A = this chain, B = another copy of it.
Amino acid sequence: MENFIEQLTDEQKIELERQFAIYSNGVQEIVPAHELKQKIAKSIVTNQPLKVKLGLDPSAPDVHLGHTVVLNKLKQFQENGHIVQLLIGDFTGKIGDPTGKSVARKQLTDEEVKHNAKTYFEQFGKVLDMEKVELHYNSKWLSTLNFEDIINLAASITVARLLERNDFSERLATGKPISLHEFFYPLMQGYDSVALESDIELGGNDQHFNVLMGRHLQEHFGKEKQVVILLPLLEGLDGVEKMSKSKGNYIGVDEAPNDMYGKTMSIQDEMMAKYFDLVTDLSLDEKNEIKANIENGTLHPRDAKMLLGRTIVRMYHDEEAAQQAENHFKTVFQKGVIPEDIPEVTWSGANSISIIDLLVQLDLQKSKGEARKMIQNGGVKLNGEKVEDIHLDVEITEDMIVQVGKRKFVKIKK
């Protein structure tokens, strides 16, 4: 490859470093980093956008934040004028798993593939500018290959190399069957990069082997090799396992603001920096400032997490929804531990009533005296907030939660 970095002006070199810093933020690995710099430099010198590929399995597209790690990275490329190539692996989907052993590879009809692609499209639109995205289906080229083409494709790779893939080598070693056709999935994925002439391919760290295959095959077919950017796998709400729908530790991009915010608040403090890096659209400067402020103590971890929650809700809903979700959370959750199955009481009294009368009328206290005492002891809360004033006039609102002591709760329905 021509050395484009050498051809840059000083100003262009600054631009190269700016983009490189953005793209490399939060990633697991760039294979290889110096080629990524050359690709960016080439794009600057030739004024041509880079083609950045993401391959998608056409089955069951229920997008959660785990998926958005790559989407956010794609967005960074898109914001800098590069072309996002979304590749729907419909050919693989239509074949399914001929052995019928893999549930993930059940055979899909054309209609199902199209429907799933549409679902991806809608959900990805929350991160990417879908009007600028190139959408490709790999059946276009894979279905035209004949036996001779496939023999040539297969001749490009050795069995030993394929057995280097962790799951293959483990299965061979433990006597679990590997059907020969499984060797073709990485080859197909790699061949897609040949057909698309991708400059860069993104993938989760567990796709290491498959995305590198694109590099290998592009070289085999005499094309410029793509750079591979591997992104870390995002741990789910449990902070341990990879975020996934089946584990129930996920935040879906279609979830309601309150759920999204609340789930975000449940992640562990140690995970926060990673979430800021990987699932928010904040600028690199903003991310670095937040991390620095947590580090030096000027930003309380709780406040940082609330900022994270607001950011995520804002990304998938809007600013107002983010604020409301935060208020809701503060009201309902932050100020005390409230059980889920609170007895409900239908309120037919006045809309405004003194706190002492309220407690008696709700049968939470037997007398006004006991009620007053309980308030003075700090044992009464409205929507999680301690009542300090025994003369408080309460405006009755829907779903208001009245708490006495640690265990008595009532939710008011009007």
Q: Which residues of chain A have a CB within 8 Å of any CB of chain B? A: 91, 94-95, 97-99, 142-143, 145-148, 150-160, 162-163, 168, 172, 175, 177-181, 183-184, 187
Contact = CB atoms under 8 A, between A and B. Distances in A.
Contact of A143 (B148, B157, B179): B148
Contacts of A159: 159, 163, 168, 172, 177-180, 183
26 contacts: A91-B147, A95-B148, A98-B151, A98-B156, A143-B146, A143-B148, A145-B146, A145-B147, A150-B150, A151-B181, A151-B184, A154-B179, A155-B179, A155-B180, A156-B180, A157-B179, A157-B180, A158-B177, A158-B179, A159-B159, A159-B168, A159-B172, A159-B179, A162-B180, A180-B183, A180-B187
Contacts of A99: 155
- How many copies of this protein are present in the complex? 2
A35 to B, nearest CB: 26
A102 B178 CA distance: 27
A175 B158 CA distance: 11
A348 to B, nearest CB: 69
Given A143-B148, A158-B180, 5 more contacts: A98-B156, A145-B146, A151-B184, A154-B184, A160-B172
A222 to B, nearest CB: 14
Contacts of A98: 151-152, 155-156
Contacts of A168: 159
A187 B177 CA distance: 18
A99 B156 CA distance: 7
A148 B95 CA distance: 7
A179 B177 CA distance: 20
A262 to B, nearest CB: 45
A154 B184 CA distance: 9
A147 B146 CA distance: 6
A98 to B, nearest CB: 4
A151 B99 CA distance: 10
Nearest to A100: B155
Which of A91, A98, A152 has the most CB atoms of chain B within a 10 A radius of its CB? A98
Contacts of A184: 151, 154
Contacts of A97: 155
A183 B160 contact: no
A95 B148 CA distance: 7
